[in-house]
């Protein structure tokens, strides 16, 4: 369905989880894919006879991310797509979070993708390109236990729309994906093991969490030339969302009365 032959794609955090799936999808579509992380992975994404190129980069360091962009331009001569995927947060009560941790979370999830988007814009402004920010449902609803993360993702959604308007005349499109709960290799630790995953999935409208391919296919769609007039969008990829908890509580209460 998608052909990215001859195009260059950067995926931050592309060596595991959702980033690995995104990288493999673009490789399968013929792209040259460059991924980055703080440490080299044991295995690299590969598909269609192509393998991603890894660069050791801490995305929170603007000098390092500019070097990444320069390296991609030197190797391929162009940058067509940037996927700002790197992010995350440990669970921590807001009252117990140190100022240093709060700043670190916001730097990783908001400041870093904004600066990298700015750097990518300067590489794309003469040829056009697509920037996709991986946001989260935590940026649309309360995020207890990860308040700084939710606030950063909310800011990233807003920044996406602002950058799309600023850069539209240069044909640099900026979109966001609002991801819901995703099943990756880290899910057991994050969601309470297989029993927790089962209970969560049973509560969801589609009876399953997303998998990395769900996010990857949305990235392919937004980056494709056929989406040339889609910019400033926040595409919700979360299987109809999370039902309000009060509905289940009310249902259980009615069951007790019967």
Domains belonging to the chain, first-starting first, are: 8-257 (3.40.50.720)
Would you please indicate which residues are annotated as catalytic (active-site) residues? 149
Element (H, E) at 79: none
Instruction: Express as a percent the part of the chain with pLDDT over 90.
Output: 90
Taking Cα atoms as reference points, which of 63, 71, 60 lies closest to residue 10?
A: 71
Going by pLDDT thresholds of 50, 70 and 90, the confidence category of residue 251 is confident
Q: How many other C-beta atoms lie within 10 A of the C-beta of residue 99?
A: 7
CB 24 within 8 A of CB 47: yes
74-84 pLDDT, tens digit each:
999 999 999 99
The pLDDT, as a whole number, for residue 248 is 79
82-108 pLDDT, tens digit each:
999 999 999 999 999 999 999 999 999
136-179 pLDDT, tens digit each:
999 999 999 999 999 999 999 999 999 999 999 999 999 999 99
């Amino acid at each position: 369905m998608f052909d990215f032959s001859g195009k260059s794609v950067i995926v931050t955090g592309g060596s595991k989880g959702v980033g690995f799936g995104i990288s493999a999808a673009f490789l399968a579509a013929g792209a040259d894919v460059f991924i980055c992380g703080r440490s080299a992975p044991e295995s690299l994404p590969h598909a269609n006879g192509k393998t991603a190129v890894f660069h050791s980069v801490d995305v929170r360091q603007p000098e390092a991310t500019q070097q990444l962009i320069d390296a991609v331009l030197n190797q391929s001569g162009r940058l067509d797509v940037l996927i700002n995927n790197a992010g995350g947060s440990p669970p921590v009560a807001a009252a117990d979070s140190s100022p240093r941790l709060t700043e670190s979370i916001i730097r990783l999830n908001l400041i870093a993708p904004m600066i990298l988007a700015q750097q990518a814009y300067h590489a794309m402004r003469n040829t056009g390109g697509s920037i996709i920010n991986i946001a989260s449902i935590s940026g649309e609803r309360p995020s207890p236990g990860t308040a700084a993360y939710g606030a950063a993702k909310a800011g990233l959604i807003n920044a996406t729309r602002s950058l799309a308007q600023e850069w539209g005349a240069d044909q640099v499109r900026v979109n966001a994906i609002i991801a819901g709960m995703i099943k990756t290799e880290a899910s057991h630790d994050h969601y309470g093991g297989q029993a927790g995953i089962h209970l969560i999935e049973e509560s969801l409208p589609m009876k399953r969490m997303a998998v990395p391919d769900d996010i990857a296919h949305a990235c392919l769609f937004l980056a494709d030339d056929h989406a040339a007039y889609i910019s400033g969008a926040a595409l919700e990829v979360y299987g109809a969302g999370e039902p309000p908890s009060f509905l289940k509580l009310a249902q259980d209460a009615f069951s007790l009365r019967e």
